[in-house]
């Protein structure tokens, strides 16, 4: 046994290699996950489309000519024209921004509410937890879209409002419960870990404990929930707009496009199909991204 | 069991008042002019104003408004729409259709989710499993506003496999396509939860015991594993009902099924506040009651809870 | 006797005069993402009616995997039986088609698991789980099966059996649960019972009760009993013979008295020295130095060589030591067994 390689091999623990942190492990897995890359690219394209629609189309989505009604694809109008003679491609591309904006902002709002509720309930436990958990139950007692239908109408400022603020607030105020629950349970389990007990004994205050020790170890499932929620909120915005209580007026939105095109789908399928495809692809991208991240953090479910 | 039921009942009563209060508050509170809010952007005549004020006791204190709203709701008095139709009568006419539609969707989704979920779990990692998972992903990505109109276009109009609308006669056949569309809103989640749960249970020690007893694989899976795996799936039913309700809103609108969702969607479009408030309040109650039943069912399936 | 019973007796090649159970050169490996774990590497032993064979070894040495391979309930994938025979009355069970194999389970060879709480299905009553055996294997009616189940609970001395039949596993105490497991294993009068660490999860006093119950039932029925354990103290009173396993091999096999008196393998010897003994109070316990081998990378030659104080050059060379017959009914896989025996 004089071969140094042999000795090194014998000494290396099973499945050798430097021990990695959970996040490091997850990243290692993610990097090799094709679905992660595919969904990331899709998400980036959608984001780019939302930020700079003119990169994708030079046509003005509001420049419609009834003479073009239901015309097929021609020139710049890749997807043809809708019943008002608007360029479907241009409208679909420009509709991205509203969907993404509503999706991101409402998810952000839900995330902040969920974070506060979940952290407080999980960290303090006892009576605080009981009260906050009942609060979560109450919001969960209202079916998501039904609540949204009622609230969105109430919140909008009336004449001339494009509904973006109202929809964002509505979705944010109703969607946070899942984030709060996930945060709560991971805080509860993180709290019982030895290192937190140790930090507490060393005199770390509640805020420091929460943000330095508990939060970093509870954040992964929370982020996964938010990613999935983003997809769901984008879909919900489209549904509200479809029902007439979402974006309205001059606002361009995939949901509005679908609602407008549905009656004439027999005559011209393009105006219905294309916004549907964009919507589904966007939702799909966020779901796949969330799934991939979750799998990376929770390998036992594979 | 008894203590569990009592505890769940108390929690549900709390949730019930909380949720109805939130709905109510958002409807009427915080509005400069609640009457105008009820009527949308339409001009409100003096007589309508008086009728609405009386109906919702808008001249009284906030809590007594809530009190009247609740007692009306619980006695089945939902008032009249802005166009003067009796809301309770509308609801009575509409609900059997929605019930039929949603029952069809629920059965369809449950059967599909459980069978495919179990298969997928047994053959996990295989082609069938991956195919099924990819399919659920696709379904998850299709919001009902995409699926309903596109399904109607493709299967109802272009291919003509199903009637494209169901307005005239409501039958098993005319409701088939809408029911499939509605089922897709819940089937993917149910399937994935079933699969995960079966995968976890297949590794459980009691499965080894069942096999050591010389039971057939079929019996091990469908008797021993399934019963355990269904516990988390059952809890989904409560959440799913909410999804189905919102789904019905779009599905009934698209397929012209004059049910609860159809009427509600109309009410929303016509900005008929009393109708929307009435319908949504009833749906919230149904939702809460079903969730309570699900909790009890959960206890029935899992003896560890029953004998807590 | 029902049809199933009748068809059991015509198992192809069944020979009533052949040994009750004979395991030959059994190899089991687990193919996982981290490599191939060789859990069992040529285990061999034999069991006669009325005999108690203890299988002893450190945790992870392949005892449970051997038992599962005999039962045919290995999780596969990742588990694969790559070589060997499991002969019941001369029939190699590994060659039987699955539907024949299934009839052997519980009917001829039954098994008890370590943790009865997780080994029983939490959502069915113990009555259901017992009666299920009679219904599935004997085609009995619900009522008959239930009566048989009550009788079984009586036999394992569960008080108020008739009432408890409708209880769920979590409503029993640990000892009572293990009695339910025993009842379940004995339901169809098997000829072989494999008990995989039946008392490890229990309190010491309950352990003794369960062991004496097992011993008594075995005597009554003249069953062959394979008692798997990692605790040498447990087996001394009940076992007739002991097979000591290390890294998936039986490294020593001997009548129980001989092993305690004169171990022939350094590993057995080390195990014996590591049990606390009342007559040697105050003496230092000798734990075995080093760790059991990583199953994906078992040392060549004698697997015990890195930990062995007798190890010499031949111990590092493949093939591993053969099973030296050191006395009638005694074997040991050590090149230097004479030295260990102190001859
Ligand atoms: N399902 C499995 N998957 C992978 N490896 C396994 C599995 N079951 C057992 N093993 C491997 O087999 C070895 C022996 O396990 P086991 O027979 O349970 O040990 P024990 O002797 O303690 O009963 C373990 O160390 C483990 O590496
Ligand atoms: S063969 Fe060698 S290493 Fe193995 S037990 Fe015997 S002396 Fe020790
Ligand atoms: Mg074991």
Which CATH number does the domain housing residue B174 bear?
1.10.3720.10
Ranking A87-96, C92-101, C107-116, C333-342 by mean pLDDT, the lowest is: A87-96
**DSSP structure class, residue B86:** B
The three-state secondary structure class of C46 is strand
Query: How far is Cα A243 from Cα A207, in angstroms, rounded to an integer?
Result: 44
Contacts of B66 (CB under 8 A, 6+ apart): B21, B24, B25
Q: In Å, how far from its chain's centre is CA C136?
A: 25
Same domain, C77 and C158: yes
- The pLDDT assigned to A69 comes to 63
Q: Is residue B176, in this structure, part of any structural domain at all?
A: yes
The three-state secondary structure class of B78 is coil
Per the CB < 8 A criterion, the answer to whether C254 and C302 are in contact is no
Contacts of C28 (CB under 8 A, 6+ apart): C38, C39, C40, C62, C65, C66, C69, C74, C79, C80, C81, C82, C248
Same domain, C135 and C118: yes
> Which regions in chain A score pLDDT beneath 50?
1-19, 300-302
Evaluate: CB of C190 within 6 angstroms of ligand 2. Answer: no
Contact B304 C122 (CB under 8 A): yes
Mutate which of B1, B124, B209, B302 to disrupt the C interface (most C C-beta within 10 Å)? Answer: B209
Query: Among the atoms of ligand 2, which is closest to the Cα of residue C265?
Result: 5
* Residue B153 at interface with chain A, using a CB cutoff of 8 Å: yes
The answer to whether the predicted template modeling score (pTM) of the entire model surpasses 0.95 is no
Q: What is the mean pLDDT of residues C210-214?
A: 88
The runs of H, that is alpha helices, within chain C are 3-9, 63-71, 98-104, 116-119, 126-138, 142-155, 161-164, 174-186, 204-221, 232-235, 256-261, 266-273, 337-341
* Residue C296 at interface with chain A, using a CB cutoff of 8 Å: yes
pLDDT tens across B85-136, in order? 888 888 888 888 888 898 899 999 999 999 999 999 888 888 888 899 888 8
Whole-number Å distance, alpha carbon C294 to ligand 1 midpoint, is 11
Whole-number Å distance, alpha carbon C336 to ligand 2 midpoint, is 6
The three-state secondary structure class of C40 is strand
Per the CB < 8 A criterion, the answer to whether C337 and C326 are in contact is yes
Q: Is residue B66, in this structure, part of any structural domain at all?
A: no
Mutate which of C76, C104, C119 to disrupt the B interface (most B C-beta within 10 Å)? Answer: C119
Query: How far is Cα C180 from Cα A89, in angstroms, rounded to an integer?
Result: 70
pLDDT tens across B1-47, in order? 677 778 878 888 888 888 888 877 776 654 556 666 666 666 777 77
Q: How far is C314 from chain A (nearest CA, A)?
A: 14
* Last residue within a domain, chosen from C208, C239, C270: C239
Of B149, B150, B283, the CB nearest to A146: B283
Beta strands across the sheet bearing C324-327: C109-112, C192-196, C224-229, C52-56, C241-246, C249-255, C330-332, C324-327
Probe target for ligand 2 pocket from C270, C307, C336, C342, with the most ligand atoms within 8 Å of CB: C336
Whether residue C231 is predicted with pLDDT greater than 80 in this model: the reply is no
Q: How far is A296 from chain C (nearest CA, A)?
A: 16
Beta strands across the sheet bearing C35-47: C35-47, C21-32, C79-88, C91-92
- The pLDDT assigned to A81 comes to 67
Q: Is residue B284, in this structure, part of any structural domain at all?
A: no
Whether residue C233 is predicted with pLDDT greater than 50 in this model: the reply is yes
* Last residue within a domain, chosen from C213, C239, C265: C239
Ligand nearest to the CA of C78: 1
Q: Is residue C8, in this structure, part of any structural domain at all?
A: no
- The pLDDT assigned to C90 comes to 84
Whole-number Å distance, alpha carbon C272 to ligand 2 midpoint, is 16
- The pLDDT assigned to B80 comes to 75
Query: Among the atoms of ligand 2, which is closest to the Cα of residue C321?
Result: 1
Note which residues in 26-55 of chain C have CB less than 8 A from chain A: 34
Split into its structural domains, chain B has a count of 1
Same domain, C164 and C297: no
Residue closest by Cα to atom 6 of ligand 2: C334
Same domain, C35 and C120: yes
Query: How far is Cα C122 from Cα B178, in angstroms, rounded to an integer?
Result: 39
pLDDT tens across C41-74, in order? 888 888 999 899 999 888 888 899 999 999 988 8
Q: Highest-confidence range of A100-109, A276-285, B173-182, C136-145, by mean pLDDT?
A: A100-109
Confidence of residue C252 (pLDDT cuts 50, 70, 90): very high
Query: How far is Cα A254 from Cα A274, in angstroms, rounded to an integer?
Result: 9
* Last residue within a domain, chosen from C199, C216, C239: C239
Which residue(s) pair with C23 in the sheet? C45, C86
Which residues are near ligand 1 (CB < 6 Å)?
A: C 30, 32, 37, 39, 57, 59-65, 75, 78-79, 295
- The pLDDT assigned to B109 comes to 92
Contact C133 B213 (CB under 8 A): yes
- The pLDDT assigned to B171 comes to 74
Q: Is residue C3, in this structure, part of any structural domain at all?
A: no
Of A143, A243, A301, the CB nearest to B245: A143
Residue closest by Cα to atom 16 of ligand 1: C62
Per the CB < 8 A criterion, the answer to whether A253 and B145 are in contact is no
Same domain, C207 and C64: yes
pLDDT tens across C164-203, in order? 999 999 888 888 998 999 999 998 889 999 999 888 877 8
Q: Are β-strands C21-32 and C35-47 bridged in parallel, bridged antiparallel, or unpaired?
A: antiparallel
Ligand nearest to the CA of C113: 3
- The pLDDT assigned to B220 comes to 92
- The pLDDT assigned to A16 comes to 35
Q: What is the mean pLDDT of residues B144-161?
A: 80
Same domain, C93 and C184: yes
Structural domain span for residue C292: 246-342
Structural domain span for residue B188: 90-269
**DSSP structure class, residue C95:** G
Q: What does the domain layout of chain A look like in residue ranges?
A: 22-301
Query: Among the atoms of ligand 2, which is closest to the Cα of residue C266?
Result: 5
The CB density around residue A123, as the number of other CB atoms within 10 Å, is: 21
The runs of H, that is alpha helices, within B57-175 are 62-74, 87-122, 127-141, 144-151
Query: How far is Cα A238 from Cα A257, in angstroms, rounded to an integer?
Result: 9
Same domain, C175 and C231: yes
Which CATH code is given to the segment(s) A22-301?
1.10.3720.10
Whole-number Å distance, alpha carbon C39 to ligand 1 midpoint, is 6
The three-state secondary structure class of C324 is strand
Contacts of C207 (CB under 8 A, 6+ apart): C199, C234
Q: Is residue B117, in this structure, part of any structural domain at all?
A: yes
- The pLDDT assigned to A68 comes to 62
Q: Is residue B168, in this structure, part of any structural domain at all?
A: yes
Could you give the ipTM of this predicted complex? 0.85
Which residue(s) pair with A81 in the sheet? A87
Mind giving me the DSSP string for A24-87?
HHHHHHHHT-HHHHHHHHHHHHHHHHHH-GGGT--S-TT---GGGTT---BTTBTT-B-TT--B
Contact A15 C34 (CB under 8 A): yes
Split into its structural domains, chain C has a count of 2
Q: In Å, how far from its chain's centre is CA B139?
A: 17
Same domain, C315 and C193: no
- The pLDDT assigned to A1 comes to 31
Q: Is residue B170, in this structure, part of any structural domain at all?
A: yes
Average pLDDT taken over every residue of chain B: 82
- The pLDDT assigned to C1 comes to 40
Whether residue C284 is predicted with pLDDT greater than 70 in this model: the reply is no
pLDDT tens across B194-212, in order? 888 888 888 888 999 999 9
Q: Is residue B59, in this structure, part of any structural domain at all?
A: no
- The pLDDT assigned to B160 comes to 73
Q: How far is B149 from chain A (nearest CA, A)?
A: 6
Per the CB < 8 A criterion, the answer to whether A92 and A274 are in contact is yes
């Amino acid at each position: 046994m004089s071969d140094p390689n042999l000795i090194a091999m014998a000494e290396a623990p099973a499945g050798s290699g430097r021990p990695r942190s959970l996040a490091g492990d997850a990243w290692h897995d993610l990097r090799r996950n094709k679905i992660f890359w595919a969904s990331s690219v899709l998400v980036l394209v959608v984001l780019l489309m939302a930020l700079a629609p003119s990169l994708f189309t030079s046509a003005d989505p509001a420049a419609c000519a009834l003479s073009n009604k239901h015309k097929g694809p021609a020139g710049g109008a890749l997807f043809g024209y809708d019943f008002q003679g608007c360029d479907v491609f241009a409208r679909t591309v420009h509709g991205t921004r509203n969907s993404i904006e509503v999706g991101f902002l409402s998810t952000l709002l839900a995330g902040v509410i969920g974070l506060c509720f979940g952290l407080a309930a999980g960290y303090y436990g006892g009576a605080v937890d009981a009260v906050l958990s009942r609060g979560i139950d109450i919001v969960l007692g209202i079916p998501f879209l039904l609540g949204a239908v009622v609230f969105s109408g109430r919140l909008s400022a009336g004449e001339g409002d494009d509904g973006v603020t109202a929809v964002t607030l509505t979705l944010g105020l109703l969607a946070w419960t899942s984030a709060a629950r996930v945060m709560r349970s991971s805080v509860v389990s993180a709290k019982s870990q030895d290192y937190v007990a140790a930090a507490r004994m060393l005199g770390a205050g509640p805020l420091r404990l929460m943000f330095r020790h508990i939060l970093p170890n509870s954040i992964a499932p929370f982020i996964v929930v938010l990613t999935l929620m983003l997809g769901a909120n984008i879909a919900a915005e489209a549904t509200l707009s479809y029902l007439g209580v979402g974006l309205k007026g001059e606002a361009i939105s995939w949901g509005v496009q679908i609602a407008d095109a549905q009656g004439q789908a027999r005559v011209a399928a393009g105006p219905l199909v294309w916004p549907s495809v964009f919507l589904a692809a966007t939702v799909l991208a966020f779901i796949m991204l969330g799934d991939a991240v979750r799998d990376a953090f929770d390998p036992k479910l594979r | 069991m008894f203590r569990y039921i009592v505890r769940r009942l108390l929690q549900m009563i709390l949730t019930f008042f909380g949720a109805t209060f939130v709905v109510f508050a958002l409807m009427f509170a915080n509005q400069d002019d609640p009457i105008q809010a009820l009527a949308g952007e339409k001009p409100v005549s003096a007589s309508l104003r008086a009728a609405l004020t009386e109906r919702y006791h808008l001249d009284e204190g906030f809590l007594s408004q809530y009190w009247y709203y609740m007692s009306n709701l619980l006695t089945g008095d939902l008032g009249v729409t802005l166009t003067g139709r009796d809301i309770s009568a509308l609801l009575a006419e509409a609900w059997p259709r929605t019930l039929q539609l949603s029952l069809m969707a629920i059965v369809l989704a449950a059967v599909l989710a459980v069978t495919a979920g179990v298969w997928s779990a047994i053959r996990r990692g295989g082609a069938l499993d991956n195919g099924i998972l990819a399919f659920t992903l696709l379904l998850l990505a299709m919001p009902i506003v995409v699926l309903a109109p596109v399904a109607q276009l493709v299967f109802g109009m272009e291919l003509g496999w199903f009637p494209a609308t169901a307005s005239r006669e409501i039958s098993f056949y005319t409701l088939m396509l809408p029911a499939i569309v509605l089922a897709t809103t819940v089937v993917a989640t149910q399937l994935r939860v079933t699969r995960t749960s079966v995968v976890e249970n297949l590794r459980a020690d009691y499965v080894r015991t069942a096999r050591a007893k010389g039971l057939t694989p079929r019996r091990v899976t469908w008797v021993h594993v399934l019963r355990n795996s269904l516990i988390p799936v059952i809890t989904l039913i409560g959440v799913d009902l909410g999804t189905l309700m919102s789904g019905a809103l779009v599905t009934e609108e698209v397929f012209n099924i004059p049910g609860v969702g159809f009427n509600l969607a109309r009410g929303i479009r016509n900005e008929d506040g009393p109708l929307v408030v009435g319908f949504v309040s009833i749906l919230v109650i149904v939702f809460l009651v079903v969730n309570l039943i699900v909790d009890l069912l959960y206890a029935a399936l899992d003896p560890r809870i029953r004998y807590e | 006797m029902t049809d199933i019973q009748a068809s059991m007796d015509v198992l192809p090649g069944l020979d009533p005069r052949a040994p009750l159970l004979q395991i030959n050169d059994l190899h089991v490996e687990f193919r996982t993402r981290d490599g191939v774990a060789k859990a069992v590497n040529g285990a061999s032993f034999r069991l006669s009616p009325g005999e108690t064979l203890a299988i002893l070894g450190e945790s992870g040495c392949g005892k449970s995997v051997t038992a599962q391979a005999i039962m045919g309930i290995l999780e596969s994938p990742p588990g694969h039986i790559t070589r060997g025979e499991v002969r019941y009355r001369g029939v190699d069970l590994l060659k039987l088609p699955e539907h024949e194999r299934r009839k052997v389970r519980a009917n001829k060879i039954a098994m008890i698991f370590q943790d009865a709480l997780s080994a029983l299905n939490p959502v069915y009553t113990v009555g259901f789980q017992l009666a299920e055996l009679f219904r599935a294997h004997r085609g009995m009616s619900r009522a008959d099966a239930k009566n048989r189940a009550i009788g079984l609970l009586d036999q394992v001395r569960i008080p108020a059996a008739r009432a408890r039949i409708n209880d769920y596993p979590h409503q029993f105490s640990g000892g009572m649960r293990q009695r339910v497991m025993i009842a379940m294993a004995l339901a169809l009068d098997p000829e072989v019972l494999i008990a995989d660490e039946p008392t490890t999860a229990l309190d010491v006093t309950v352990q003794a009760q369960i062991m004496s119950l097992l011993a008594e039932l075995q005597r009554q029925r003249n069953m062959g009993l394979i008692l798997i354990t990692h605790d040498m103290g447990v087996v001394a009173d009940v076992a007739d013979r002991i097979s000591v396993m290390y890294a998936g091999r039986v490294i020593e096999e001997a009548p129980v008295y001989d092993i305690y008196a004169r171990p022939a393998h350094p590993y057995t010897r080390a195990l014996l020295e590591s049990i606390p003994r009342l007559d040697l109070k105050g003496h230092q316990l000798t734990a075995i130095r080093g760790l059991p081998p990583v199953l994906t990378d078992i040392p060549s030659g004698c697997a015990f060589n890195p930990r062995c104080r007798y190890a010499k050059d031949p111990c590092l060379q493949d093939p591993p030591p053969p099973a030296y017959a050191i006395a009638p009914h005694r074997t040991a896989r050590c090149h230097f067994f004479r030295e260990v025996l102190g001859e």
